[in-house]
């Protein structure tokens, strides 16, 4: 039997998604909890691996099991076995051809950036920070150059293992809410560090270190050395994963809840 789960987690409490020999990752915690309910070893596959410090509101995973359990067992039962920094939101039995990663049509990430002179304290692990005043309009003008199907080599890490650097970036939205700036990215898939590298370069434009047209020059260069440094993981959230309606999975989009003023 193949089961799909929707999960959320606080990435500041884990060493990333992917399992490690010493433990401490989201995958390690989830597989241990699932095994306790299934009564057998369980291996999970996720829609998108997240780095250390990156959060998820709508991660989707699937796993195979011979155990027959009600959906409530895969939610409430597993949650009882998980640390409080990760939770299963929903469960659905699905067919063998469903794949959390390869069946996904799009992923949506959101980056939350606190833009004020003083660094954050309460939300320090959950927002990025830039002390210099940022021009959201200039960043929106720069983002226009990134939308579409492109080779994003200039915005991926040297450790990226993707077979191709070509991705279709459906949309980028840059909006200001008081002292907070939200960056929303939707694409068919993302490269390793792609969102954080894009945010870093957009911030260069926002603080007027570069003009909006510079983003297009960097993109076309395909040279990572020309882009800005990788931004902090603290403000990055895997917000949702989109699938065809035929899979009958619950919507995964959820609002980021932060303390007032963050």
Q: What is the pTM of this model?
A: 0.94
Residue 252 clears pLDDT 70, i.e. is over it: no
Q: How many domains does the chain have?
A: 2
Average the pLDDT over 165-188 and give the result.
97
CATH code for the domain of 161: 3.30.70.660
| Residue 135: active-site member | no
Go through the chain and tell me how many residues it has: 262
How far apart are alpha carbons 105 and 74 in whole angstroms? 25
55-64 vs 2-9, strand pairing mode: antiparallel
The reported pLDDT for the residue numbered 21 is 86
Statement to judge: residues 144 and 37 lie in one domain = no
Domain assignment of residue 256, yes or no: no
Statement to judge: residues 64 and 124 lie in one domain = no
Longest dimension (CA), the chain: 58
Give pLDDT tens digits for 126-175: 999 999 999 999 999 999 999 999 999 999 998 898 999 999 999 999 99
CATH code for the domain of 79: 3.30.70.580
Give pLDDT tens digits for 195-246: 999 999 999 999 999 999 999 999 999 999 999 999 999 999 999 999 999 9
How far apart are alpha carbons 109 and 15 in whole angstroms? 19
| 149 DSSP β-pair partners | 168
Active-site entry in 10, 51, 223, 246: 51
């Amino acid at each position: 039997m193949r089961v799909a789960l929707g999960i959320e987690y606080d990435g500041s409490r884990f060493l990333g998604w992917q399992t490690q020999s010493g433990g401490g990752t989201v995958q390690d915690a989830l597989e241990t909890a699932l095994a306790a309910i299934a009564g057998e070893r369980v291996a999970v596959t996720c829609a998108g691996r997240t780095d250390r410090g990156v959060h998820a509101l709508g991660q989707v995973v699937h796993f195979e099991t011979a155990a027959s359990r009600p959906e409530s067992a895969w939610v409430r039962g597993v949650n009882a076995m998980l640390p409080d920094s990760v939770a299963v939101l929903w469960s659905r039995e699905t067919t063998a051809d469903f794949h959390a990663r390869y069946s996904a049509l799009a992923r949506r990430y959101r980056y939350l950036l606190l833009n004020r002179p003083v660094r954050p304290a309460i939300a320090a692990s959950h927002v990025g920070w830039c002390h210099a005043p940022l021009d959201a309009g200039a960043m929106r003008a720069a983002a226009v150059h990134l939308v579409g199907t492109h080779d994003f080599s200039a915005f991926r890490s040297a450790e990226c293992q993707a077979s191709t650097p070509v991705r279709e970036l459906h949309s980028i939205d840059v909006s200001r809410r008081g002292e907070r700036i939200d960056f929303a990215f939707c694409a068919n898939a993302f490269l390793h560090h792609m969102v954080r590298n894009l945010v870093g370069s957009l911030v260069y434009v926002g603080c007027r270190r570069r003009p909006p047209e510079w983003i297009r020059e960097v993109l076309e260069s395909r040279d990572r050395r020309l882009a800005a440094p990788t931004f902090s993981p603290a403000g990055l959230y895997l917000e949702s994963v989109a699938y065809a309606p035929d899979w009958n999975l619950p919507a995964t989009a959820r609002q980021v809840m932060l303390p007032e003023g963050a």
